[in-house]
C-alpha cells in the first residue's frame, strides 16, 4: 500500500489477529460526483415531516430495507447499539396512541413544556392529538441499547450509544424518503411506556418513534425555509 502514512492501518499484527478486507470503492470523476451530490441534495430538499398519513398498506419488505440501510450506520466499536421495533397491529398502535397522547396532554396542557418551547412549536401547530399513530400503516420505534445483554446472561458495555443511534435514525429517515414513503420523528417525552407496551428488555430505552406510510392526498406541511449554507457551514483555513 502506497501513501504518506508512517503508521498504516491495519498494522501487520492487527491484520494477522483480526479479519480485514480491501474496501471496494469506486472513484468517480469530479463532474459525476457533483451531479450525484446535487441530485441527492435536491431529493433531500423535498423531504418533509408528515402528520397526515394515508391508511394504504406498506409492505413489510420496505420497512426491512430501511432498517437494513440504517444499520449500515457507523457505531462506537461497531456495537450497533440499536433495535428497530415495528408494528402494524391496530391494537398495538391504538395502545401507543393512548399512552402517547396522555404524555403529550401533560406536555401541552399542564405546563410540562415551558413558554419558550411552546412558542417555538407554534408555527408547526402541533398539539396533544396524535391520530397519525393509528392511521399510519406502520409504527417503528428505535430503541438505544444502553448495554449489550449476552445469551449467557453477562453484559458488555456499549460505546457512544446516543451518537450511534442518532446517526442510524438519520439514515433510516433518509431511506424511508428515498423509497417514496413519508415519516415523522415523534418523541412524546417521557417515552418509557414504549418499552412496556412493546415488551423490550431492560437494556433498551426508546430513542425516537417513526409513523411510516404514504402522505394522505392533499396533506399540507408548514411552509418552512431551511438555513442557507453560510449559516450551517464554516471553513477554518488558519489557526486563530
Looking up residue 121, the CATH number of its domain turns out to be 3.40.109.10
In a domain, 128, yes or no: yes
In a domain, 194, yes or no: yes
Asked if 103 and 133 count as a contact pair (C-beta separation under 8 A), the reply is no
pLDDT bucket at 1, cuts 50 / 70 / 90 = low
What is the rounded distance in angstroms from the CA atom of residue 188 to the CA atom of residue 6?
50
Q: 211-237 pLDDT, tens per residue?
A: 999 999 999 999 999 999 999 999 999
In a domain, 118, yes or no: yes
In a domain, 8, yes or no: no
Q: What is the pLDDT of residue 2?
A: 63
In a domain, 82, yes or no: yes
With both helix axes pointing from N to C terminus, report the angle between 161-179 and 60-70 in degrees, rounded to the nearest 10.
Answer: 140
- For 119, the 3-state DSSP assignment is helix
Give the residue-averaged pLDDT of 48-73.
Answer: 98
Q: 164-175 pLDDT, tens per residue?
A: 999 999 999 999
Give the residue-averaged pLDDT of 131-157.
Answer: 95
**pLDDT value at 3 more than 80:** no
Alpha-carbon distances, residue 183 vs 74, 77, 118, 149, 180 (angstroms)? 22, 29, 22, 30, 10
Domain tally for the chain? 1
What is the rounded distance in angstroms from the CA atom of residue 128 to the CA atom of residue 33?
44
| Grid cell listed for 196 | 412496556
Percent of the chain scored above 90 by pLDDT?
84
Q: Tell which residue, 153, 135, 238, has the closest CA to residue 201.
A: 153
Question: pTM of the entire structure?
Answer: 0.94
Which residues pair with residue 208 across a beta bridge?
142
Give the residue-averaged pLDDT of 101-111.
Answer: 89
In a domain, 184, yes or no: yes
Find the length of the chain.
Answer: 240
- For 139, the 3-state DSSP assignment is strand
Contacts of 131 (CB under 8 A, 6+ apart): 97
Give the residue-averaged pLDDT of 25-33.
Answer: 97
The residue range of the domain holding 153 is: 52-218
In a domain, 9, yes or no: no
Amino acid at each position: 500500500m502506497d501513501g504518506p502514512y508512517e503508521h498504516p492501518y491495519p498494522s501487520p499484527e492487527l491484520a494477522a489477529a483480526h479479519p480485514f478486507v480491501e474496501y471496494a470503492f469506486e472513484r468517480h470523476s469530479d463532474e459525476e460526483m457533483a451531479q450525484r451530490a446535487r441530485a441527492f441534495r435536491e431529493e433531500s430538499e423535498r423531504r418533509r415531516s408528515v402528520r397526515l398519513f394515508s391508511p394504504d398498506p406498506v409492505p413489510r419488505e420496505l420497512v426491512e430495507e430501511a432498517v437494513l440501510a440504517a444499520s449500515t450506520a457507523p457505531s462506537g466499536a461497531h456495537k450497533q447499539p440499536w433495535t428497530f421495533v415495528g408494528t402494524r397491529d391496530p391494537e398495538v398502535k391504538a395502545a401507543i396512541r393512548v399512552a402517547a397522547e396522555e404524555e403529550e396532554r401533560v406536555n401541552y396542557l399542564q405546563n410540562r413544556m415551558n413558554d419558550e418551547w411552546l412558542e417555538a412549536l407554534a408555527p408547526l401547530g402541533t398539539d396533544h392529538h396524535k391520530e397519525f399513530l393509528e392511521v399510519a400503516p406502520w409504527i417503528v420505534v428505535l430503541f438505544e441499547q444502553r448495554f449489550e445483554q449476552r445469551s449467557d446472561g453477562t453484559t458488555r458495555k456499549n460505546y457512544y450509544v446516543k451518537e450511534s443511534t442518532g446517526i442510524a435514525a438519520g439514515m433510516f429517515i433518509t431511506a424511508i424518503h428515498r423509497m417514496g414513503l413519508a415519516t415523522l420523528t415523534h418523541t412524546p417525552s417521557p417515552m418509557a411506556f414504549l418499552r412496556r407496551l412493546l415488551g423490550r428488555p431492560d437494556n433498551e430505552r426508546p430513542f425516537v418513534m417513526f409513523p411510516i406510510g404514504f402522505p394522505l392526498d392533499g396533506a399540507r406541511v408548514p411552509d418552512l425555509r431551511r438555513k442557507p449554507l453560510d449559516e450551517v457551514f464554516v471553513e477554518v483555513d488558519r489557526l486563530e
